[in-house]
A and B are shown apart, each in its own frame.
Chain A
């Protein structure tokens, strides 16, 4: 069986750190380097923060996190059942944000710190983000 874990929690700010640390621990066990883990932490933090801030305006809802080992790397998905994103292409643009206190860099960091990044969203049905990251190849002779 492929190694994986799933975590479900309410979209509260304190759970951003919980999700981040859970994924970091999983990635460390898969042999990711510390710089790679730092990048993974930022990407996960952005994905989960988006759920907390945007997915369930005025109410609480689910953050569903899943991490899975893939050949040579990790697949991380963050899903919610919230309001969804009307225009995913627009939301992925740098500096786009519906919140003036945020910089619109969330998707930029998720994309930059992943090798593959996809967003699936339907208004009224929620959003699912998937990030894939490969482990750095070990140095020859290591």
Chain B
């Protein structure tokens, strides 16, 4: 429960053409929000049309993190792009995502193989 508490969120980005794969690890809360927002905005501004965000290593998510995801969805959808979220099938991150209703606009997928081909 306390493992890694307070550690900064870790972000790994891999770009393939106009698709970006973003892997997040750690706690995605108010403290982490600006860093993640900046990275995702950078991808959108530089032309990424599909962003796959892997949340499977995120141990904690609250409405601050959700706000970043939804805000980036709004930005990329204005440019005709899309965001896909990879999440574990259960756990508090999944619960928070389900409760927020974000799956109505961003698909919640179990693995990369479920991401629709470009």
Contacts and interface: CB of A to CB of B under 8 A. Distances in A.
Interface stretch (B12-20, B26-34, B44-52, B81-89): B26-34
Task: Give chain A's interface secondary structure class.
Answer: helix
Interface residues of B, number: 25
A64 interface: no
A49 B27 contact: no
B33 to A, nearest CB: 8
Contact of B67 (A17, A38, A52, A101): A101
Contact of A42 (B2, B68, B70, B92): B92
A99 B35 CA distance: 18
B118 interface: no
Interface string A83-123: 00000000000000001111111101100100000000000
Interface of A: 13-14, 16-18, 20-21, 24-25, 28, 34-35, 37-39, 41-42, 45-46, 49, 52-53, 99-106, 108-109, 112
Given A17-B5, A24-B2, A34-B1, 7 more contacts: A17-B29, A38-B95, A42-B60, A101-B67, A102-B63, A102-B67, A105-B63
28 contacts: A13-B30, A13-B31, A16-B31, A17-B5, A17-B27, A17-B29, A17-B31, A20-B5, A25-B1, A34-B1, A39-B95, A42-B60, A42-B62, A42-B92, A45-B64, A46-B62, A49-B30, A49-B63, A49-B64, A100-B71, A101-B33, A102-B63, A103-B66, A103-B100, A105-B99, A105-B100, A108-B99, A109-B62
